[in-house]
Amino acid sequence: MKCIYFSVFLFFYSLTGIAKNITWRDECIGYYQLQIPDNLDVGIYPSNRTYTKDLAMSSIFTEQKKSPGKTMIVKGRYSNFYYKKYKILISENGFFNIESYKEKVIKKIAEQGDVFHIKKYSSDAFFISHEKSHSLYIQAGHRLYQFMKGNNDLFRLGDNGYLSNESGVLSLLNNFQARALYDVPTERGFCLPYGFISHDSGKEDRNIIVSYRMLAHPDVMIVFQDASFQLPYMVPRNNDLSTVKDYDAKDYAKWLWNHIYMLYPNQERKLLWPRWFTVKMDGRKGVGSFLEVTKENGENDYGYLAFVRGNPNNLIEEPDLQVFVSSVSDIAEGHPRMTPDELKALAEHIVNSVKHR
């Protein structure tokens, strides 16, 4: 009996130990608030790139490992920021010259042979539309924020409405503001990494999924999602590629493990006990699991996944919620890795903190 008590003590000590070593901060994403560790890097977009239509693209973490003649680029490939009909791109810090950037965008669109319309609202904002897309660009807090027409829904042939299409632009200009990480607004609105859209309805269509990386433990990546819809390539499919209908939280979690997360060649994968367990986010029940992956080189990676399936009849107010926390040896950069128990405790703290704002 003494051995049992001692084992239980060590187990709880390991879980509380990681909590004591981490400074927890409130942060908001979409319409939700949660606690995440201090000192994080966020997956965003390089400020020197120009995007003129919604294509698949990966964000990157700005804190990169540099050695003579070599830079390791770590991608936050799960990140996507969709709000209403916009795909939102947020640049790394250090953006200063929107005029020069505007000329680069105009040159790229002209090279595509598109007719375009441009309107300058201020020294820090302009709107440009062309046959394939339109975007509002805002410079704020040394970052560039681009609100691009999302999902690549092309205008009808012969429709020249794109030349003056500014629907929603003035509302964004009036209500958008930059914010610091962990600066959670008190008023109603929609949270982006380093940004906030105030005075919206609180009930807008969105799919926002943000990737974070711990600087003290670079092996650890944290992902959170608030989604009233899933992108077409993120929906479970049958063997004939038709969309799975009426899937539940466990169905979706299985699909994520089998098709998206932590896939390596010649690997061994197993869900650790108890394999599947109940989680709660914002008072709604979902499913959780904890995966161990043994790679070809013998190293083990770990991932914790919690998913709450939204209400199919009211996804705006009861959306899909997801927390995914992983430890990957390839990006540890010489730092000590978290133990599996520490990683699980970290993930559970985040899951338990999720609440609607």
The mean pLDDT value of the chain amounts to 86
pLDDT of residue 130: 84
Interval 20-38 mean pLDDT: 94
Could you tell me if 124 and 118 are in contact, meaning their C-beta atoms sit under 8 angstroms apart? no
Is a pLDDT exceeding 50 seen at residue 1? no
Q: Are 221 and 328 within 8 A, CB to CB? A: yes
> What are the backbone angles phi and psi of residue 338, rounded to the nearest 5°?
-70, 145
Output the pLDDT for position 165: 59
pLDDT at 164 over 80: no
Q: The tokens of 22 are what?
A: 């981490």
pLDDT of 150 above 80: no
Please tell me which residue, 54 or 158, carries the higher pLDDT value. 54
- Does residue 151 carry a pLDDT above 70? no
3-class secondary structure for the chain? CHHHHHHHHHHHHHHHHHHHHCCEEEEEEECEEEEEECCEEECEECCCCCCCCCCCCCEECCCCEEECCEEECCEECCCEEEECCEEEEEECCCCCCHHHHHHHHHHHHHHCCCCEEEEEEECCEEEEEECCEEEEEEEECCEEEEEEEHHHCCCCCCCCHHHHCCCCHHHHHHHEEECCCCCCCCCCEEEECCEEEECCCCCCCEEEEEEEEECCCCCEEEEEEEECCCCHHHCCECCCCCECCCCCHHHHHHHHHHHCCCCCCCCEEEECCCCCEEEEECCEEEEEEEEEEECCCCCEEEEEEEEECCCCCCCCCCCEEEEEEEECHHHCCCCCCCCHHHHHHHHHHHHHHCEEC
Q: Is the pLDDT of residue 248 over 80?
A: yes
C-alpha dihedral, 259 to 263 to 264 to 270, nearest 10°: -110
The answer to whether residues 308 and 288 touch, using CB atoms and an 8 Å cutoff, is: no
Q: What's residue 55's pLDDT?
A: 67
Half-sphere exposure of 55 (CA within 13 A, CB side): 6
What are φ and ψ of residue 217, in 5° steps? -135, 80
Q: How far apart are CA 276 and CA 325, in angstroms?
A: 16
For helices 340-353 and 2-21, give the axis angle rounded to 10 degrees.
60
Percent of the chain with pLDDT over 90: 62
Distance CA 243, CA 160 (A): 34
Provide the pLDDT for residue 28.
98
Alpha carbons 308 and 315: distance in angstroms, whole number: 12
Catalogue all structural domains in the chain, each as residue range(s) with its CATH number.
17-39+215-357 (3.40.1000), 41-208 (no CATH)
pTM above 0.75, yes or no: yes
Residue 15's pLDDT is 45
Choose the weakest-confidence range: 5-14, 33-42, 112-121, 221-230: 5-14
pLDDT the model gives residue 335: 86
Nearest to 103 by CA among 93, 118, 88, 115: 118
Query: What confidence tier does 221 reach under pLDDT thresholds 50, 70, 90?
Result: very high
pLDDT tens-digit readout, 195-212: 999 999 999 999 999 999
Please calculate the CA angle 307-303-251 and round it to the nearest 5 degrees.
35
Q: What is the pLDDT of residues 336-357, one digit of tens each?
A: 899 999 999 999 999 999 999 9
Backbone angle region of 95, left / alpha / beta, with phi > 0 → left and psi within -120 to 50 → alpha: beta
